[in-house]
Structure 1
Amino acid sequence: MDTAGPPAPAGTEGDGPGGSTGETSRRLSKEQIFVLVSAASMNLGCMMTYSILGPFFPKEAEKKGASNTTIGMIFGCYALFELLASLVFGKYLVHIGAKFMFIAGMFVSGGVTILFGVLDQLPEGPIFIAMCFLVRIVDAIGFGAAITASSSILAKAFPNNVATVMGSLEVFSGLGLVAGPPLGGLLYQSFGYEVPFIFLGCIVLLMIPLNLCILPSYESDAGKQSFWKLVTLPKIGLIAFVIISLSSCFGFLDPTLSLFVMKKFSLSTGYVGLVFLGLSLSYAISSPLFGLLSDKMPNLRKWFLVFGNLITAGCYMLLGPIPLLHIKSQLWLLVLVLVINGVSAGMSIIPTFPEMLSCAYANGFEDGISTLGLVSGLFGAMWSVGPGSGDQMRTLHTVNSVPILSHTQA
């Protein structure tokens, strides 16, 4: 992606007369605000619905005859089908339409969230388990559609500020992931199993009329490039490996670290949630900064990736810490490492998407919504690889112990 020169309004083909140019710029600036509102609402709502299962669903599923392994598979199938959906929707984004895919994804996600709330009315055993799998799979497909379309629309609306915008929107993703589990747990304790799903599902559905009115449509002709050509580019393959590695780290962090903290420092579940906030908040705060730097100084992206991954590796060695270091495990050190890890995660994750776009454009991919769909689909697919294993581990560890109150996935 060409980042040189002054930012050009998204969707403009050229300059017109002076007066009309000013009017067009103002009109498109309003469109960009609408795109931000739509993407922020989707990130917040869908991430909350994704994360509310953690505190109470494992116990309820166990009552219905589901084994620990089965519950882990119910959680893990989400990531698998999100991966597949992201690849398919990324390929056919132009044919389906970005706005329609965005709205349809939110509609499916909100609807199946409500449906998940009535599954406790089913008889225990195979029927309940089969419906859990079905609803979870459909939810993953809906979310894959929404996030792929959202990334493509953002990149189209902000061609010269992709990293800045996506980094800023990570704040809403983090808020959704942090707020979902405690809110779901509170509603569950107060009103029972159905209310958390119905409440959050309705919130997502209520966002649809707003997005129908304000979200602009970006149409484009189908491109000739394929996923195969994209993923066989060496640089794209390396960045994809980085994304998988980082998402895997986050996916495995919740179950292992939470149990370690509770056992090692004798903390209650509420305090464990506060410990995880160190990671979530530092990531949410640092992401916009690294996004801005990535857009203003593209040459820094490769150094962000290198040093961000090195710092992340060092943080994971210090979380225990590993026995080789002979350092005593202390709560203040663990919290400090989590804060640094959140910053390094922002440094590593935020530059990946614009760098993939730059690589695609440099290798002959056309500048349009078709390429944005391919890159968005690949990014979403690679990111979903890591959380799948983490979801299964989280469920297996928490089903007979203490629920996790916060998620650390971006």
Structure 2
Amino acid sequence: MSTTLQSLRSSTPFITFTIAYAVFTDQFLFAAIVPVAPFALQQQLGIPEEKVQFWVTILLGVFGVACFVTSAPWGWYSDRSSSRRTPFLIGLFILLGATILLWVSPNIPVQILGRVLQGFASTIVWTTGLAVLVDTVGQAHIGEYMGYVGIALNAGTLVAPLLGGVVFERCGYNAVFGLIIAVVGIDILLRVVMNERTPSTGEVCLDKTASLSSLDLEAAPSTTKDDVPIISATSTVDTRPASSLPPIIRLCFSARFLATLWATLVLAATFSGFQTVLPLMVHDTFHWSSIGGGLIFLPLTFPALFGPLVGRLTDRFPNSGRWFATSGFLIMSVSLVLLRLVEKDLPDQQALLCVLLVLIGSCMTLALEPLLAEITGGATRLDAENAKSGAVAVGSYGQAYALFNMAWAGGNTVGPLWAGFIIEYAGWKTMTWTLGLLSGVTAIPVVLLCGGWIFGRRT
């Protein structure tokens, strides 16, 4: 029985579920307060109604800033830690501290501190957690499994505002945080039970203290002109020393990787921008309650269920990711611009809003899975380069995901500020077409660089 339990703790399905649930918890804590915040800031902290949108925007922006600042050092630490499980568990204490502060905060400064700690906890999930996942399933299948992470992310976006709004309206402020504590409690249990295992990619895995030259191999990895790892049975180990720069710096010299980070930032900005303004928009336009403010996320997040399918196709047909992501940004651009037509409390305009949100949610799924696969591929190519030079293998996944988290955090900072301030000073129509323009422009570097330079020589 103990052997069976031990196998379960380190099994791919259980580790995947644990990482996905950690992402769900992270997003749940972030989003559950979104429909509640406008009412709670007035009732709990006495913020005047005309200042509510301003402080909601600031609090969401602070979360993104904290993620951005903590990502690089935490990714560096995660790659050098003897176990990813330990830093993953550290995040629990930070998450608990953030939850308690947000619950009992008597004023805005304590709310800001709680959001800072929440941002740090999010960094741990997105750097260490995703590195554990790629260690478990391997780079060849990461697109499909990132699809499950995408479902968890979107489930948190959907379920949290809905439950937060319902519980707040029916049971009050304290009940919302009782619900959050229950979700965090399950996360604690899963992270404690999970037992990480060594990478099982089916490829050569290097110990953090071993070099390629110490292994009994007849073949060494090399790279093509397109920077795609290959194996040559006749190649010899290149003993030239690898660059002394950290992987997080070397990745930033790749135009392909930078294009992926830019697309990630834009996707996150659109995602978080809608989280900021949608509840208040439907409240002001359609006169919906906090329950309606939560339900409006359903059409936006439902398409995430197709994330694993998109990821699987990306894994099977590597160049398809470029076209999935490009199509996603182009269709999203048109849909965002068309949102300016929603301006009156009419049934047909409510239906139009839902249809456009489904399209936008579908585009986010089309773009997110290929982008996550590109981040993983960047770290894989860098590790292959290190192995070719015979360098000590430290690993790059934590730092690659740290850069992803920085881009996502940058979007989480820019999105609420962009959407919140533009809608306050220029209106809903201006906010939607500016986001649409940003998305359309982003399709250009995505089609040119994601998946490698589009005009490069094929191998």
TM bin (shorter chain): 0.7 to 0.9
- Change in Cα spacing, 1:145 to 1:250, as seen in structure 2 (3 Å) is same
Structure 1 partner of 2:91: 105
Q: How does 1:29-68 map to 2 (within 5 A)?
A: 31-62=11-42, 64=45, 68=52
Structure 1 partner of 2:361: 342
Is the 1:107–1:204 contact (alpha carbons within 8 Å) kept by the matching residues of 2?
no
Q: How does 1:129-144 map to 2 (within 5 A)?
A: 129-144=108-123
Q: How does 1:390-405 map to 2 (within 5 A)?
A: 390-392=415-417
Unpaired segments ≥5 residues, structure 1: 1-22, 121-127, 324-328, 399-410
Matched residues in 2 for 1:64 and 1:152: separation?
39
1:305 aligns with 2:330: no
Query: Residue 140 of structure 1 aligns to which amino acid in structure 2?
Result: G
Deviation at 1:40, TM superposition (A): 2.4
Is the 2:9–2:193 contact (alpha carbons within 8 Å) kept by the matching residues of 1?
no
Deviation at 1:380, TM superposition (A): 1.1
Q: Percent identity?
A: 22
Deviation at 1:214, TM superposition (A): 2.4
RMSD: 3.3
Q: How does 1:44-193 map to 2 (within 5 A)?
A: 44-62=24-42, 64=45, 68=52, 69-96=54-81, 97-120=83-106, 128-159=107-138, 160-193=140-173
- Change in Cα spacing, 1:199 to 1:257, as seen in structure 2 (3 Å) is closer
Matched residues in 1 for 2:175 and 2:394: separation?
39
- Change in Cα spacing, 1:150 to 1:360, as seen in structure 2 (3 Å) is closer
**TM-score using structure 2 length:** 0.70
Deviation at 1:321, TM superposition (A): 4.0
Is the 1:103–1:146 contact (alpha carbons within 8 Å) kept by the matching residues of 2?
no
Is the 1:251–1:391 contact (alpha carbons within 8 Å) kept by the matching residues of 2?
yes
Is the 2:101–2:110 contact (alpha carbons within 8 Å) kept by the matching residues of 1?
no
1:352 aligns with 2:338: no
Matched residues in 2 for 1:300 and 1:265: separation?
40
Pick the aligned partner of 1:316 from 336, 340, 348.
336
Is the 1:34–1:215 contact (alpha carbons within 8 Å) kept by the matching residues of 2?
no
Deviations 1:338-382 (A, max 9, x none): 212222211111111222332343355548772111111111110
Q: Per the alignment, in what secondary structure is the counterpart of residue 396 of structure 2?
A: helix
Deviation at 1:201, TM superposition (A): 2.4
Query: Residue 390 of structure 1 aligns to which amino acid in structure 2?
Result: G
Matched residues in 1 for 2:299 and 2:56: separation?
29
Range moving further from structure 2, 342-351 or 219-228: 219-228
Structure 2 partner of 1:249: 270
Q: How does 1:279-294 map to 2 (within 5 A)?
A: 279-282=300-303, 284-294=304-314
Deviation at 1:235, TM superposition (A): 0.5
- Change in Cα spacing, 1:395 to 1:375, as seen in structure 2 (3 Å) is same
Deviation at 1:234, TM superposition (A): 0.6
Pick the aligned partner of 2:194 from 208, 211, 214.
214
Is the 1:76–1:389 contact (alpha carbons within 8 Å) kept by the matching residues of 2?
yes
Matched residues in 1 for 2:170 and 2:192: separation?
34
**TM-score using structure 1 length:** 0.78
- Change in Cα spacing, 1:292 to 1:315, as seen in structure 2 (3 Å) is same
Q: Which has the higher contact order (CA 8 A, sep 6+)?
A: 1
- Change in Cα spacing, 1:267 to 1:70, as seen in structure 2 (3 Å) is closer
- Change in Cα spacing, 1:87 to 1:100, as seen in structure 2 (3 Å) is same
Deviation at 1:389, TM superposition (A): 3.4
Query: Residue 366 of structure 2 aligns to which amino acid in structure 1?
Result: M
Is the 1:168–1:291 contact (alpha carbons within 8 Å) kept by the matching residues of 2?
no
Rg bigger for which structure? 2
